[in-house]
Structure formats: C-alpha cells, structure tokens
Amino acid sequence: MEIFVGGDLIAHRGVLGDSRHDATKAPLWVPVPASLLSTTAPTVLVVRVAVQPVRWGGLAAPRFGPEVNLLPQYRERYVWRQWGAVAVVFALALTGVIAGGLWHLTREPVYGYFALCAPFGMLRYGDRLWEVPPLGWPLWGGIVAFSLTVHMLLLVRFSLALLGRDGIGVRRGFWALVVAEAALVWGGYGMGKPWCWTAGLALLFVPSFWAYAVAAREALVVRQPEAVALCLASFIPIGAGLYDFLEIRVSTESVGRSSYLPLATMLFVLLMGWLILSRYARQVRAYQALSNSLDEKVRQRERELEVSYALLQQEHEQHAALQERQRIMRDIHDGVGSQLVGLLSLIGKGRSSRAALREHAHAALDELRMAVDAMQPVDGDLATVLATLRYRLQPRLAASGISVDWQVDEELPTLDSLTPHRVLQIQRILLEAFTNVLRHAQASTVRVSARHEAGPSHPPHLVLEIADNGVGMRDPAHMHGGQGLANMRARAQAIGAQLDVTSVPGQGTCVRIALLGEPAPAMPATPAPAPAAPAAPSM
C-alpha cells in the first residue's frame, strides 16, 4: 500500500504486488506534514493498494482531520483489534499449558482436547499481529483458515467430553468434519473459490449448535454444573461468530467493520480455564476423600489384624506351654518312669540284692534331677549344663575312687539352640558315659573336656569328650549290654549331634560328642528298649 498527499508519497507498507505483506491487519496512523496541505485549494489524497486474491477484506474509508480528533479513535480501534488479539493469544497459551499439565498428570481426554485446540487458536488469532507472515499468500491464508476449523472442532469435542458425551459417534463425526473442512479450505484458497471457505465457516455452526443444545439439555434436565457453565460461556462466542459470519463474511457492506469473535473467544477461554481448574479441584477433593476413606479402612484392618495377632500369639503361647508340658511328661515317663518300672520289677521278683535295688533307686533319682535341671534357664551356656551335671555326679565318682580332670574352656560360645529338650538329651548321653565308667571301666581318672573347634573342612562346633584310663573294650558297639551305644546314638541324632566312641583295650574309652550351632530337624529319640532287670542304671 502507498499513500500520496498532494502527489507526494508520505507512507507505504510493503511493496505493491508482494503477496507476503498485508497492510490491512491493523489500523494505520499516518501523520500528514502541514507543508503538504494547501490553504487555497483542496489537497488530493491518493491511496494505492494491491488486492490479494481470495482475501476477504479491503480498505476501510480513510479518515482525515486534526490529530486531536482522530488520535482517540485510532487508539480505540487499535486496542480492540490488536491488543484484543494479544489478550486472546495469551489466554489460550495460559489455559493450554494448564490443560496440558493436567492431561500429563491424569491422562483425561477432556484436558487433552483443550490443550490441543490452544495452539491452533493462537495461530488463528495471532495472525493479525503478523504484518509480514512467514509464508506467502494464499498458502498462509489456507493454513490460518484450517487452524480456525481445527480449533473450533476441538473446542466442540472438549465441550462434549466435559459433559461425558465423547462417544464413538462423536469421534467419527469429528474426523468426518475435519476432512470436510480441509476439502473446503483447499477449494477456497487452493483453487481460488471463496464460496468454498464461506461454506466451511457455515459448516462450523452445525457442531457448535448441536453441542450447545446438548449442554442446554443437560443443564435444564440433569442440572449438571459443567453443562450450566458451558451454556453461559458459549452463548456469547456463538453469537459473536454468527454476527461475524453474517455481517462481515456474507454482507456486501462489511468494509471497516471489526470482528467480535476474538474477544468473545477470550471470554470463553477464560471461563473454560476456570471450569477446568474447578473440575480438577473437585477431582482432587474426591481423591482425597477416597484416600482418607482407604486410610481409615487400612487403620481398621490393622486394628483387626492386631487383635487377630494377639489371639494367635495367645494360642501359640498356650500351644507352646501344652507342648512343653507334654515334653516334660514324656521325659519323666521315659526316664523316671522306666527306672521305677524296672525297680518294681526287681522288687516283685524278690531275688535282687539290696545294692541293685539301691542303684535302680539312684538311677530314678538321677533321671528326676536331670529333668528338673533341664528346665532351668541356661541362656545357651553349655558350661553351666556341664557344671550342674558334675555337681550331681561328683559324690558318686568320689565314692568309687575316681578323680575328675575338668578341662572345660572358660569362654565357650553360646548355643542359641540349647533348649530344655536338647539339654536333657546331652545330660542323658553324658550320664550313660559316666555310668559305664563307674560300672565297667575300672578307671581311676576320668577327663571331661569341652572346647570350640573351627576349620576349613567343617563348620564351627562344640566338642565334648568323656575319656577314662580304664580297661577299655574290644568292641564299643557292645557297650552297656549291647544297647548303651545305640541309646546314645539315638539321643545324639535327635538333637543333631555327632557321636563317636573309641576304645583301646588296656588304655581306656573316649566318648566324643560334636554339637553344631543349630540342631538338625527334630527327630524323637528312640533308644533301644532296656531289659526288664538291667545290670546297671538305664538312661
């Protein structure tokens, strides 16, 4: 565009014939030098413009006069046209970013539709801020027109998704309209037929009115809050769009009129932004209420589990106590009971000597004492178990003229698995060994040793040894009438220990017990049945 006053060029925008420049997007303020104005004759004003094909616009009637009169009008028009576009672009950018962030967090389509429509609307309404767009005409005009159609269709789909009506039919209709609008845009800008673009604009009112009707029905019948807000926010943009279409696009006297759709769109965008945040806030409150409800249910379940655990613990303790009572009863039955039965058998036959009867009575008493000692807490200290057994047997050994060589390490490691059952079995094995020393070894000294051993070929363990300097045996398997060793091995196996008996005639016998840190799987001790009238005390 070129402006001449009195034949002199005073302003121009771009180059005539260059399709990349558009001088009609904003009001132009052109000061006229006073030297060019004549006081005696009319001054001729000439405006030369280059018309671009398919563009629906033109030169408004120029206004010429004093600055004091025209400057307020220029500023008013500039604010409405240019700053209105800036406000729309800013509002779309802000709400689009918010919607995109909410979609990233929730993956809800309603936020995604609004986030997608924002860039297309920014391109369409921001176009009037570019006097020199990046592409030439009519290619740039077709891009801007198609952006408007996608922006409007995505707003319609956003509105329907907000109402919960984004079904398969809506999705199919959306893509059908996108294809139809693309064809009409191509016809209008690619083939130079303006009526195609007019038809494309008219077609946009079909989904817009239908979405408004759906929202109005939901607002009146269901009283859905989103529907009420959507009806209020959509009323002005739809009316502004209808006015622009009839008075600017269709009317033949539209030169100089301004479009109201950008400002109405800004109002709609702001209201929708508020609606999006309100919807998200409701969802957050609902999630918080659900979380609180779940927390309360979890706490209630924890209380129930605590009560159940307490009952289970009580049952476990009762069961453990019952098992312990049964174990004590079984130990007394197998030990003291068997000795008393043997003693009664000897008394009933009437042929046993007083010494044999006394020895059976002592054996029964030893069994009773061992059962009581096994129930005393030892805290895994094997030295305490050995010291208690020494205290019980020392008088009998001394009466038989046998001295005890005590070689127990002062700091033996503790055994966490040293339960009363294990203590009793160890005592019985050792008592069996000491009884054989008293009755058969003819020894003068017995050595008792306990030590901790560890090596690369075997795990750490405790070793107990009972060694005498007696006559020894040719076959240790026949120790104690042939059943003593079998009884000792059965008891050792029951507590996961390893038993070895070595004997050399004329040099004595050694009983070796290796105790691992943890017992093997529990197995009941099954000693061989003792004879009815044994020659020595049975364990």
pLDDT tens digits, 132-167: 888 888 888 899 999 999 999 999 998 898 888 888
- Rounded to an integer, the average pLDDT of 431-450 is 85
* C-alpha triplet 327, 330, 336: angle, nearest 5°: 125
Q: Which has more confidence, 324 or 72?
A: 72
Nearest one of 337, 343, 394 to 367, comparing CA atoms: 337
Q: Is the dihedral of CA 135, 136, 138, 144 positive or negative?
A: positive
Rounded-to-integer distance, Cα 495 and Cα 275, Å:
76
Q: What is the pLDDT of residue 531?
A: 38
Q: Determine contact, residues 12/54, Cβ cutoff 8 Å.
A: no
Q: Looking at the 3D structure of the chain, how many domains does it have?
A: 2
474 pLDDT exceeds 50? yes
257 pLDDT exceeds 90? no
- Given pLDDT bands bounded at 50, 70 and 90, which one contains residue 519? very low
Picking from 272, 293, 314, the residue at the C-terminal end of a domain is 293
Amino acid at 310: A
Query: Based on the domain organization, do 82 and 213 belong to the same domain?
Result: yes
Q: What is the pLDDT of residue 256?
A: 58
- β-partners of residue 345 are none
Q: What is the pLDDT of residue 439?
A: 79
Does residue 193 fall inside a structural domain?
A: yes
Does residue 25 fall inside a structural domain?
A: no
pLDDT in tens, 337-356: 666 777 777 677 776 777 76
Q: What is the pLDDT of residue 148?
A: 92
Q: What is the pLDDT of residue 107?
A: 87
Q: What is the pLDDT of residue 172?
A: 93
The phi, psi pair for 89, rounded to 5°, reads -60, -45
Does residue 449 fall inside a structural domain?
A: yes
Q: Give kind and range of the element (H or E) at residue 363.
A: helix 354-374
> Which tokens sit at 115?
């986030």
CATH of the domain at 525: 3.30.565.10
Mean pLDDT check: name the lowest of 178-192, 428-442, 445-459, 516-530.
Answer: 516-530
216 pLDDT exceeds 80? yes
- Given pLDDT bands bounded at 50, 70 and 90, which one contains residue 530? very low
297 pLDDT exceeds 60? yes
Name the average pLDDT for the chain: 80
Does residue 371 fall inside a structural domain?
A: no
Q: What is the pLDDT of residue 351?
A: 67
Does residue 412 fall inside a structural domain?
A: yes
Q: Determine contact, residues 193/223, Cβ cutoff 8 Å.
A: no
Domain coverage including residue 492 = 378-529
Q: Give the SS3 label for residue 407.
A: strand
Rounded-to-integer distance, Cα 409 and Cα 411, Å:
6
Rounded-to-integer distance, Cα 201 and Cα 363, Å:
115
Picking from 293, 313, 333, the residue at the C-terminal end of a domain is 293
Strand bridging mode 497-504 / 508-516:
antiparallel
Does residue 299 fall inside a structural domain?
A: no
Mean pLDDT check: name the lowest of 21-30, 489-498, 529-538.
Answer: 529-538
Query: Based on the domain organization, do 82 and 198 belong to the same domain?
Result: yes
pLDDT in tens, 228-237: 888 888 888 8
pTM above 0.75, yes or no: no
What is the residue-wise DSSP string for 415-467? -TT--HHHHHHHHHHHHHHHHHIIIII--SEEEEEEEEEEETTEEEEEEEEEE
Burial class (CB in 10 A: 0-12, 13-18, 19+), 344: exposed
- Rounded to an integer, the average pLDDT of 358-382 is 68
Percent of the chain with pLDDT over 70: 82
Q: Give kind and range of the element (H or E) at residue 499.
A: strand 497-504
Q: What is the pLDDT of residue 99?
A: 86
Q: What is the pLDDT of residue 523?
A: 43
Picking from 240, 263, 293, the residue at the C-terminal end of a domain is 293
> Which tokens sit at 273?
């932004």
Query: Based on the domain organization, do 133 and 246 belong to the same domain?
Result: yes
3-state secondary structure 510-524: EEEEEEECCCCCCCC
Q: Determine contact, residues 82/111, Cβ cutoff 8 Å.
A: no
Query: Based on the domain organization, do 286 and 382 belong to the same domain?
Result: no
Cα–Cα distance list, 88 to 96, 259, 260 (Å): 12, 13, 12
Q: What is the pLDDT of residue 532?
A: 35
Query: Based on the domain organization, do 258 and 387 belong to the same domain?
Result: no
Which residues, in sequence order, are CB contacts of 337 under 8 Å at separation 6+? none
The phi, psi pair for 28, rounded to 5°, reads -110, 135
Query: Based on the domain organization, do 275 and 390 belong to the same domain?
Result: no
Q: Determine contact, residues 130/26, Cβ cutoff 8 Å.
A: no
Q: Determine contact, residues 92/274, Cβ cutoff 8 Å.
A: no
Mean pLDDT check: name the lowest of 19-28, 54-63, 67-76, 166-175.
Answer: 54-63
CATH of the domain at 209: 1.20.1070
Does residue 41 fall inside a structural domain?
A: no
- Residue given tokens 């605590």 in the structure block: 306
- Rounded to an integer, the average pLDDT of 89-98 is 87
- Rounded to an integer, the average pLDDT of 516-533 is 45
DSSP letter (8 states) at residue 131:
S
44 pLDDT exceeds 50? yes
User: Which parts of 163-260 fold into alpha helices (H)?
Assistant: 168-185, 194-217, 225-244
Q: What is the pLDDT of residue 185?
A: 93
The phi, psi pair for 32, rounded to 5°, reads -105, 120
pLDDT in tens, 5-32: 888 888 888 777 777 777 777 788 888 8
Does residue 258 fall inside a structural domain?
A: yes
- Rounded to an integer, the average pLDDT of 512-539 is 48
Calculate the CA dihedral of residues 385, 386, 390, 393 and round it to 10 degrees.
70
Q: What is the pLDDT of residue 528?
A: 43
Q: Give kind and range of the element (H or E) at residue 497.
A: strand 497-504
Q: Determine contact, residues 77/257, Cβ cutoff 8 Å.
A: no
Q: What is the pLDDT of residue 53?
A: 73
Rounded-to-integer distance, Cα 534 and Cα 2, Å:
138
